[in-house]
Structure 1
Amino acid sequence: LNGGIIKSNILNQNEKRVKDIWQADSRSWNANKVKQVYGQDWGEKICNIPIGDEGQVDKIIWFHNPHGCFTSKSSYSWLLLKEMGYGPHRFFWKAIWKLDTLPKIRAFTWRVGHEILPTNCKIVTIRQGFDKGCPRCGAKTKTLLHTLKDCPASRAILSIGGWSRSFISKNYDRCIVWLEDLMHVLDKRAMANLMTILWNCWNNRNNCIFRGKEEEAKQIWEKASNLNKEF
């Protein structure tokens, strides 16, 4: 469970099944017990799982069909999508083309998802002796995630744009995981605004490296804001 520790010692000998951590007098989760055992983050996710009526019978659901039924067609489609790289991030790949923004920003989002933008960390895999560090903040490894989210220059822009620390402080190993997480909580307009900001962050990074010019965070945010208003 994401590297966390399940505190099973909190459970007594009679608590061996899922229903044993429900409230005794109702079909609802014993939130305090669940969070004690699984931790705050996973505990909240578990408590958000609805508990069905007592008369309901469990059944097997095929996740890759909107009706939950397995068909050869849905299986074939799933295999094709998996082969194309949709795999575990199918929500992200479907959502990016529906973003209400400029086509070039949707294309940028696609490149971010595939992590094919030429960051230092990417260049070092094809060019020996290339410095993979970040020339702006001195970080040892300049990944795409660092460039768009973790670099102080990008964080300053995101902060001015009103993005709270909870959206940018959590640790991730890949950009697509971070963005897909946000897609689950943001509406399409907010997500489009975010990608416009990140697109401007990327352009600002390029101007800094190749032209020696880097604009202030407020200027970058204003550019992104104006672009969103014009679209």
Structure 2
Amino acid sequence: MAAKETLEVGSRWIIGNGRTVNFWRDRWLPSSDSFKVLSPQGHNTGLVKVAQLIDSNTGTWKTELIKEAFLPHEADCILSIPLSLQLPEDSRVWAWSKNGIYTVRSAYRVSLKLLKASTPRTSGDNSDKAKAAQFWKVLWKIDCPNKIKHFLWRACREILPTNYRLAVRKVSNNDRCGFCGECESSGHSL
């Protein structure tokens, strides 16, 4: 999977003034799995930007228009989004972390979820081997610097020089994480 695809799937818009966000195409609904509007466009083909749903004079949502244009659960979701009176620029956040900040760990998890969703299910004795082969193929085709691919490969193979691995090889006596005190494996480090 390409890094760009992971970033697109993993990010969503936070509404400020709504001028940047296309509400039919972009990912911006906070309580949807896909973060996208699923309502049919119907006769509202002239509506495109979220800004058209905001009364710029009062800094509030145009409630009647929203209830008319969207399915009830999506209308409720939109109306629950708080707006600032200053109507700042729209901003992107990482949807898969609590604080909205991108981390390699959360991107790795999103990539794995997407890989699992796109990998066809096979049955039989060779299914694990086929899944592993498919995983490594996808990993090496990711559009990112080779050092990142190498890092991910080492993390998946559990051969990063973590405190745990160093202790197993008798290089260090301490296998604990310096931050939380738990055993520092590759998965823990990510």
The TM-score with structure 2 as length reference comes to: 0.33
Higher relative contact order (CA 8 A, sep 6+): 2
Q: Which has the higher strand share?
A: 2
The TM-score with structure 1 as length reference comes to: 0.28
